[in-house]
Homo-oligomer: A and B are copies of this chain.
Amino acid sequence: MAMKIKYAAYVAGSIDGKIAKNSLSGSNWTSKEDRKFFQKSLKFYDAVIIGHNTFNTYKKSLVKRNTIVLTSKASGFKTNGSVVFFNSKKENLRKFLANRKYKSVAILGGPSVYNFCLENKMLDELFVTIEPCVFTAGVPMFAGKLFKKYDFSLESVKRLNKKGTILLKYKYGN
């Protein structure tokens, strides 16, 4: 029997659920407390899953990690050091991760990757950082095409700094 992999997604957004100005602007607008939490958390995972745009903005800090970059441009998958460019429409991602014997995988976005993992039951835990600002427009957390209600339950709330950045931890299901 295959080991169950634990999947945890990390998202940082505004009060109104936007994670960036546009798909290339990156998420380095968040508080230093959030970035510190995020960097510390990454140590606990065997690998990370990330979209191509998001990978380009994080490249430097990921280069030594087991990184699966989801992209529709690869035909199948292509390995480059610790980085794998992976087309999830042509290859089975779950099978790939199981073959690599990963036990815990962090999902780093962007919206299409969060959505892909949620749809495919590869999102057991959700860490959401909410920065105290409103963007009114921008990139949404999840890139769903159709409305669907996925239930979570709240595990904890933590205030990260004085101005009011908060960190919410959810578990999938209710």
Quick check: is A95 within 8 A (CB to CB) of the other chain? no
Interface string of A137-161 (1 = CB under 8 A from B): 1101111111111111111010100
8 A Cβ contacts from A80-138 to B: 115, 118, 126, 128, 130, 132-138
Chain B residues with Cβ below 8 Å from A141 are 15-17, 134
Interface string of A46-89 (1 = CB under 8 A from B): 00000000000000000000000000000000000000000000
* Docked pose: A22 CA to B136 CA in angstroms: 17
Chain B residues with Cβ below 8 Å from A166 are 154, 157, 168
One of B130, B132, B136 near A143 (C-beta < 8 A)? B136
Asked whether A164 lies within 8 Å of B159 as measured between CB atoms, the reply is: no
Quick check: is A40 within 8 A (CB to CB) of the other chain? no
Number of A residues near B (Cβ < 8 Å) is 45
* Docked pose: A168 CA to B14 CA in angstroms: 13
Quick check: is A43 within 8 A (CB to CB) of the other chain? no
* Docked pose: A126 CA to B134 CA in angstroms: 10
Asked whether B134 lies within 8 Å of A150 as measured between CB atoms, the reply is: yes
Asked whether B137 lies within 8 Å of A146 as measured between CB atoms, the reply is: yes
Quick check: is A7 within 8 A (CB to CB) of the other chain? no
* Docked pose: A2 CA to B17 CA in angstroms: 36
Asked whether B163 lies within 8 Å of A153 as measured between CB atoms, the reply is: yes
The residue of chain B having its C-beta at the shortest distance from the C-beta of A146 within the complex is B137
Asked whether B128 lies within 8 Å of A15 as measured between CB atoms, the reply is: yes
Known: A153-B164, A166-B168. A16 touches B134 (CB 8 A): no
Known: A137-B146, A147-B137, A151-B133. A18 touches B15 (CB 8 A): no
